[in-house]
Structure 1
Amino acid sequence: MPADRIDGLRPSYPVRTARLDLRPHRRDDLADLFAFHSRPEVVRYTPWPVRDLEQTRVALEAKLDRHTLTEEGQWLVLAIELRETGTVIGEVLLKWASRADRQGELGFALHTDYHGRGLAAEAAEAMLRLGFDELGLHRICAVVVAGNTASARLLERLGMRREAHFVHNAFFKGQWIDELVFAFRDDEWRARRDR
Structure 2
Amino acid sequence: MISIPADGVRLRDFRREDLAQYKSLRSDPKFQRFYSEEDSATNKAEELLAMFITQSDEIPRSKYQLAVVSPSGELMGSCGIRIESPRHASIGCELGRQWQGAGAARDAGNALIEFGFVELGLHRIYAETISENKAAIKLCHAFGMKIESERVNDRFFKGRMWNTIVLSISENEWHARKKSA
- Name the TM-score, length of structure 2 as normaliser: 0.90
> Where does residue 78 of structure 1 map in the other structure?
66
Q: Secondary structure at 1:64's aligned position in 2?
A: helix
> Where does residue 39 of structure 2 map in the other structure?
49
> Where does residue 89 of structure 1 map in the other structure?
76
Alignment RMSD (CA, Å): 2.0
Q: Residues 58-137 of structure 1: matches in 2 within 5 Å?
A: 58-67=47-56, 70=59, 74-83=62-71, 85-99=72-86, 102-137=87-122
Q: What is the Cα deviation at residue 179 of structure 1? A: 0.4
> Where does residue 144 of structure 2 map in the other structure?
159
Q: What is the Cα deviation at residue 16 of structure 1? A: 0.4
Distance verdict in 2 for CA 1:68–1:92, change over 3 Å: farther
Partners of 1:71 and 1:163 in 2: CA distance? 29
> Where does residue 181 of structure 1 map in the other structure?
166
Q: What is the Cα deviation at residue 140 of structure 1? A: 0.7
1:21 aligns with 2:6: no
Partners of 2:30 and 2:3 in 1: CA distance? 28
Q: Secondary structure at 2:56's aligned position in 1?
A: coil
Q: What is the Cα deviation at residue 69 of structure 1? A: 6.8
Q: What is the Cα deviation at residue 174 of structure 1? A: 4.1
C-alpha offsets along residues 76-128 of structure 1, whole Å, 9 cap, x if unaligned?
A: 11000111x211110001110111xx211111100001111110011111111
AA partner of residue 50 (structure 1) = S
Q: Residues 130-145 of structure 1: matches in 2 within 5 Å?
A: 130-145=115-130
Partners of 2:114 and 2:4 in 1: CA distance? 10
Distance verdict in 2 for CA 1:55–1:177, change over 3 Å: closer
Distance verdict in 2 for CA 1:29–1:173, change over 3 Å: same
Partners of 2:101 and 2:150 in 1: CA distance? 25
Q: What is the Cα deviation at residue 71 of structure 1? A: 5.5
Partners of 1:118 and 1:109 in 2: CA distance? 12
Q: Structure 1 residues 39-48 or 140-149, which shifts more?
A: 39-48
Q: Percent identity?
A: 28
Distance verdict in 2 for CA 1:69–1:93, change over 3 Å: farther
Conservation of the 8 A alpha-carbon contact between 1:15 and 1:22: yes
1:194 aligns with 2:175: no
C-alpha offsets along residues 121-146 of structure 1, whole Å, 9 cap, x if unaligned?
A: 11111111111111111111100101
* Number of aligned residues: 179
- Name the TM-score, length of structure 1 as normaliser: 0.84
Partners of 1:66 and 1:97 in 2: CA distance? 14
Q: Which of 24, 28, 33 matches 1:39? A: 28
